[in-house]
Amino acid sequence: MPVPTRLLRDDAIAIRPFKPEDARPVFEAIDESRAEAAPWLPDLARVTSVDEVEAYIAAQPSLWEAGEAYNFLVTNSDDTMVLGGCGLTQIHARHRFANLYYWVRSSATGRGVATRAVKLLAQFGFEEPGLNRLEILVVKGNDDSVRVAEKAGAKREGLLRNRIAYDGNPQNTFMFSLIPADLTH
């Protein structure tokens, strides 16, 4: 699927594919959020330079075209401030499901940004690549992320023991899912 050029937006935020000129503001958002992100998103917290963000952004078009990942920048509705990121990864084409992730810079948390991003991203996932199911994995203890998933309408399906590993350490995670019918309620 080619990379879309349009913004997906509601009245408060927008999500869109990354552009090369996003590297510095994305790095600044990551840098601002490093301490808060580290326990839940260690890969994000390990980003230490604009060059790393530039390389990530440069890789995105080929991931889109191959249907391997659809990563978005989250901005305010007029696309002038980086608020975070979200995306669909670990896409299983045959069974039409993917992992949905999100993060919001520290100065923008607590305002519904992540919940809005999840809803816009889910709409994209069900309509554009035609996915049937989106899964959100939340490490046990990340209560803020649990609230985001619940507010976005995702259903908690259970606690998965040792589901993911951070720095080689297994973590129990809650599994949430969204299906197209969840967006109509």
Task: Show pLDDT as tens, one digit a residue, over the chain (185 residues).
Answer: 777 777 899 999 999 999 999 999 999 999 999 999 989 999 998 999 999 999 999 999 999 999 999 999 999 999 999 999 999 999 999 999 999 999 999 999 999 999 999 999 999 999 999 999 999 999 999 999 999 999 999 999 999 999 999 888 999 999 999 999 999 86
What pLDDT does residue 4 have? 74
Cβ proximity of 27 and 4 under 8 Å: no
What pLDDT does residue 185 have? 62
- This prediction has a pTM of 0.95
Question: What CATH class is the domain 8-184?
Answer: alpha beta
What pLDDT does residue 184 have? 80
C-alpha–C-alpha distance, residues 79 and 72, integer Å: 12
What pLDDT does residue 33 have? 95
Domain ranges of the chain: 8-184
